Chain A
Amino acid sequence: MKVEVSKGISEIKFGLLSPDEIRKMSAVKVITPDTYDDDGFPIEKGLMDPAMGVIEPGMKCKTCGGKVDQCPGHFGHIELAMPVLHIGFIKEIYSILGSTCSNCGRIKLTDDRINEYKKKIEEVKNKLHDIDYDDIVSDAESEASDVVICPHCHFENKKISLDKPTTFREEGKKLTPKEIRERFEKIPDDDLILLGMDPLVARPEWMILTVFPVPPVNVRPTITLETGERSEDDLTHKLVDVIRINQRLRENRDQGSPQLIIEDLWDLLQYHITTYFDNQTPGTPPARHRSGRSLKTLVQRLKGKEGRFRSNLSGKRVNFSARTVISPEPFLSINQVGVPVRAARELTVTETVTEHNMERMKEMIRRGPGNDDPAVYYPGVNYVYRRDGSRIKVSEKNAKDVAEKIEVGWQVERQLQDGDIVLFNRQPSLHRMSMMAHEVKVLPYRTFRFNLAVCTPYNADFDGDEMNLHVLQSQEARAEAEILMKVQENFLSPRFGGPIMGAIHDHITALFLLTYRNPLIPVDMGMHILSYVDIKEMPPVVEEDGKRYYHGRDIFSTILPEGVNIEFKGKLNDKNLDPEGTEGIVKIENSKLINGAIDENAIGQSKGVLLDYVIRKFGNARGAVFLNDLTRLAAGTISYIGFSTGIDDEDVPHEAKMQLREVGKDSVSKVEKLIENYRNGLIGPEPGKTLEDTLESMIMKVLSQAREKSSEIASHYLGMENSTVIMARSGARANMMNLAQMAGIIGQQSIRGQRQHRGYTNRTLPHFKKGDIGAYARGFVTSSYKEGLNPTEYFFHATGGREGLVDTAVRTSRSGYMQRRLINALEDLKVSEERKVLDTEDSVIQMIYGEDATDPSRSFAGESVDIDYIVKETFGKKYGGVKK
């Protein structure tokens, strides 16, 4: 039973359901608020009446006779005792009430004006104007709502107001939905077009419900819990409320109860119907479950991130995917991903049986679905498909038989094996490097694992982060992923044209230690380090005092590709740090490191000059090998040397402590002096500033100098034998400022770039005198992290810290929304074969991609070609300009 869907929608028209239509499409008139009887059978004319569809397998629909998968479900209906407003149309009801006459029902415009508007609408329909029909309607409505005396019957209309959410008043007197409905019934069809309605499909009075449609049970299925207990859908709960109150309202009305009671019940019915549509209507308390959870009603089902559109239509769950916690594995290549056995047994690749792979397939099928023992992982087979598509589940029992049965053309769902191409992803996927192709390596335990250099593009760490993995299913997909998405193909970022992956943290520390001052490494230790990498030639041995050594730089040189010649500035390129010039200038000749220490500037992510050079000169594949070797060499080095840091790294000599204390005291008294001068009128205003601003900026200058001075003292007393300094100088982590804050002075705590000034009247905290604007009273912290802060300092530090947290929270949400908008605007642009950028209508967005047809990740610092480099490589070093 195939249904042909014609392509191309020329028009969509929305209309309202009339009470008659609701009754006509209804399969049953629901009158009892109950669902099932004691035996578990649906009650007739109840909310689960089988005439509204079936949800249990084996049952048949009372209306169409179809089973679960055949019956589409059918609406029922409730006859409301009194009419009720539809919350979705409140705005329309309000404007129609305002623009029509309450006496005769005509729109409050003269016949001439009506005809003018009608003519304009006709013209818009024929596309003679660039205005929207909606705009004409709102013009007409606002014109009519200002009219008091009806031009048709000369009745004097009263002002209508709306008490949100659902109460209309006419000069204070409440208008019941019934009255509103009666007024709407009087509006002639001819006037409706000016009110934005097409009388063929909608009448205004239909916006006020007299008959209430009950959605099919398919829309609100009963869930049976494991305990056998039944649990109804939120919509059903709400419908129960509606029917119950409707019943009571009818009884009271028929008995002629006091008007007050009837009105209360009427309002209650309005409340239930309002919350049935939208349980987050402003001004209405949301209806709640017994547990206190607010009910998810119609609008809540559709709206927002968890709504039907964004959650189920724009994005869907997929097969062949896995998610688990990630952890590091330095022995994997950057192109690999470690997949736990349990996931590998579940994830499959479909292969078609051919003459050529028949034996391999048979062998895999014979293994069956396998077990979780990581020691003996060989890919097995979970399912086999015959040529007609019928499925055979492979189990331990039938594995041997199935293996013998397979024929050419059958499909085999085999488990993941080493070398399979998969996509690996971490949310939020903010750039294209958030989803890259990896080669599978099946490993024991339960986490996904990868090389630490790949943390950067995914922005991942291992504090509990989880990532997703998708197994590619077709040969084309695998080829495309390998060419375009493999990790090594994403080395150079399209954002800045440099390597986005590189050595991080301990990699940098390790290789820095290996090359700084070219240490002598005993041969046995050198052997250990080099056993981590695959090299062709051992470095030369040097003898000193009868002992055999390698030079650290020679060990590093073993992993360089052949033909590396480069000179660049390292992080230590500073006269104070490196007076002899042996560390700061990195020189590599014929793939031998002859000068300089390897640090962040050589191999770090985004900055690594050497890494960038290797990738550009020797290609992505060699670049990947180089980075793999780097990480392995680093692991070998640092695991032998050992490297640690602790608070005693921030221990400074007594002498330094005294100096630091002096700096703190000094700047505080300098500030006091400034304030005194200010009070004595000795300070004049700087241009463009008030006197107070001038003082403030002078104080801030003094205080920031204090931090700098403390930083200087700290770096003077803490040298390269200090772990924290090694990390800061090599660029592995932290900087000298962090160190100074730990050992010396934390410094000024600011809010929005200003000294702390808010709090109590004329002071920040009750600990200070009113009007005190000295250093301590405005958030200057002279303690160090190591000593600890005093209570007022601690408070100011917390305030400053909180600003940072708030800022990041605000920034991420705002940039996320901006990104979403940008993506939605650009998502269906494509680059044509002639490299034009086109939209879906084939209109040109750019004549040629990026106006220069250059791939930024393959360009050099914004230029298409690095001519200087080409000249140097071709004609020798002395040619070509100086590198920027």
Chain B
Amino acid sequence: MAKFNILLHEMVPEHILVPVEEEGKLLEELGISKNQLPKIRKSDPVIKALEKISGDIEPGRIVKIVRKSRTSGIATIYRMVIGE
């Protein structure tokens, strides 16, 4: 089976791993605690693809997702990685 980088596919929104150092500042800006963030599973294909680039991603890390939105043009959201 031919493998390709799903992150490059047009239908997959941009996923960026947020550096651990920046997490505190980010959460402060958002005005929420980490647990309030929407979640993404470690087993999600996107996280697996990201792991190929930046090594193991531990549960608790934050991923920034930039996607096209019908209502606002471009929407930026954050998700916390969880286990399984």
Q: How far is the CA of A476 from the CA of B23 in the complex (A)?
A: 42
Most buried by A among B31, B36, B76, B84: B36
Given A845-B38, A847-B75; 17 other pairs, CB 8 A cutoff: A834-B31, A836-B32, A842-B36, A843-B36, A843-B38, A844-B36, A844-B37, A844-B38, A847-B30, A847-B76, A850-B72, A851-B69, A851-B72, A852-B69, A852-B75, A854-B72, A862-B71
- The answer, yes or no, to whether B77 is at the interface (CB within 8 Å) is yes
A844 CB contacts on chain B under 8 angstroms: 32, 36-38
Count A-B pairs with CB separation below 8 Å.
Answer: 35
A847 CB contacts on chain B under 8 angstroms: 30, 75-78
- The answer, yes or no, to whether A373 is at the interface (CB within 8 Å) is no
- The answer, yes or no, to whether A39 is at the interface (CB within 8 Å) is no
B32 CB contacts on chain A under 8 angstroms: 836, 842, 844
The 4 lowest CB-CB distance pairs between A and B, nearest first, are A852-B72, A851-B75, A851-B72, A851-B69
Among residues 803 to 860 in chain A, which have CB atoms less than 8 Å away from a CB atom of chain B?
834, 836, 838, 842-847, 850-852, 854
B30 CB contacts on chain A under 8 angstroms: 847
**B36, A852: Cβ atoms closer than 8 Å:** no
- The answer, yes or no, to whether A130 is at the interface (CB within 8 Å) is yes
A854 CB contacts on chain B under 8 angstroms: 71-72
Residue-wise, chain B 16-28 has the 8 Å CB interface mask toward A (1 for contact) of 0000000000000
- The answer, yes or no, to whether B35 is at the interface (CB within 8 Å) is yes
**A852, B37: Cβ atoms closer than 8 Å:** no
- Please give the distance in Å from A719's CB to the nearest CB on chain B: 45
A845 CB contacts on chain B under 8 angstroms: 38
- Please give the distance in Å from A876's CB to the nearest CB on chain B: 30
- Please give the distance in Å from B38's CB to the nearest CB on chain A: 6
- Please give the distance in Å from B42's CB to the nearest CB on chain A: 12
Among residues 785 to 817 in chain A, which have CB atoms less than 8 Å away from a CB atom of chain B?
none
Residue-wise, chain B 31-67 has the 8 Å CB interface mask toward A (1 for contact) of 1100111100000000000000000000000000000
B interface residues (Cβ-Cβ under 8 A, vs A) = 30-32, 35-38, 69, 71-73, 75-78, 84
B73 CB contacts on chain A under 8 angstroms: 852
A842 CB contacts on chain B under 8 angstroms: 32, 36
B71 CB contacts on chain A under 8 angstroms: 850-852, 854, 862
- Please give the distance in Å from B64's CB to the nearest CB on chain A: 11
Q: How far is the CA of A160 from the CA of B78 in the complex (A)?
A: 55
- Please give the distance in Å from A319's CB to the nearest CB on chain B: 39
- Please give the distance in Å from A786's CB to the nearest CB on chain B: 48
| Majority secondary structure of chain A interface residues (helix, strand, loop or mixed) | loop
**B35, A843: Cβ atoms closer than 8 Å:** yes
Q: How far is the CA of A851 from the CA of B31 in the complex (A)?
A: 16
| Majority secondary structure of chain B interface residues (helix, strand, loop or mixed) | mixed
- The chain A residue sitting closest to B83, CB to CB, is A130
A851 CB contacts on chain B under 8 angstroms: 69, 71-72, 75
- Please give the distance in Å from A100's CB to the nearest CB on chain B: 34
Q: List 9 A-B contacts (CB under 8 A).
A: A834-B31, A836-B32, A842-B32, A842-B36, A843-B38, A844-B38, A852-B69, A852-B73, A852-B75
B75 CB contacts on chain A under 8 angstroms: 847, 851-852
The residue that B84 contacts in the complex, of A130, A836, A843, A852, with Cβ under 8 A, is A130
Q: How far is the CA of A130 from the CA of B71 in the complex (A)?
A: 36
Q: How far is the CA of A842 from the CA of B72 in the complex (A)?
A: 23
- Please give the distance in Å from B63's CB to the nearest CB on chain A: 14
A846 CB contacts on chain B under 8 angstroms: 77
B84 CB contacts on chain A under 8 angstroms: 130
- The chain A residue sitting closest to B73, CB to CB, is A852
A843 CB contacts on chain B under 8 angstroms: 35-38
A862 CB contacts on chain B under 8 angstroms: 71
A836 CB contacts on chain B under 8 angstroms: 32
B69 CB contacts on chain A under 8 angstroms: 851-852
Q: How far is the CA of A838 from the CA of B36 in the complex (A)?
A: 9
- The chain B residue sitting closest to A859, CB to CB, is B71
Q: How far is the CA of A854 from the CA of B75 in the complex (A)?
A: 13
Most buried by A among B37, B71, B73: B71
- Please give the distance in Å from A827's CB to the nearest CB on chain B: 19
- The chain A residue sitting closest to B69, CB to CB, is A851
- The chain B residue sitting closest to A864, CB to CB, is B72
- Please give the distance in Å from A285's CB to the nearest CB on chain B: 49
- Please give the distance in Å from A556's CB to the nearest CB on chain B: 38
A130 CB contacts on chain B under 8 angstroms: 84
- Please give the distance in Å from A497's CB to the nearest CB on chain B: 12
A838 CB contacts on chain B under 8 angstroms: 36
- Please give the distance in Å from B62's CB to the nearest CB on chain A: 12
Q: How far is the CA of A8 from the CA of B36 in the complex (A)?
A: 20
- Please give the distance in Å from A163's CB to the nearest CB on chain B: 43
- Please give the distance in Å from B12's CB to the nearest CB on chain A: 18
- The chain B residue sitting closest to A834, CB to CB, is B31
B38 CB contacts on chain A under 8 angstroms: 843-845
- The chain A residue sitting closest to B84, CB to CB, is A130
Residue-wise, chain A 859-871 has the 8 Å CB interface mask toward B (1 for contact) of 0001000000000
Q: How far is the CA of A194 from the CA of B37 in the complex (A)?
A: 38
- Please give the distance in Å from A836's CB to the nearest CB on chain B: 8
Q: How far is the CA of A74 from the CA of B70 in the complex (A)?
A: 61
B37 CB contacts on chain A under 8 angstroms: 843-844
- Please give the distance in Å from A129's CB to the nearest CB on chain B: 10
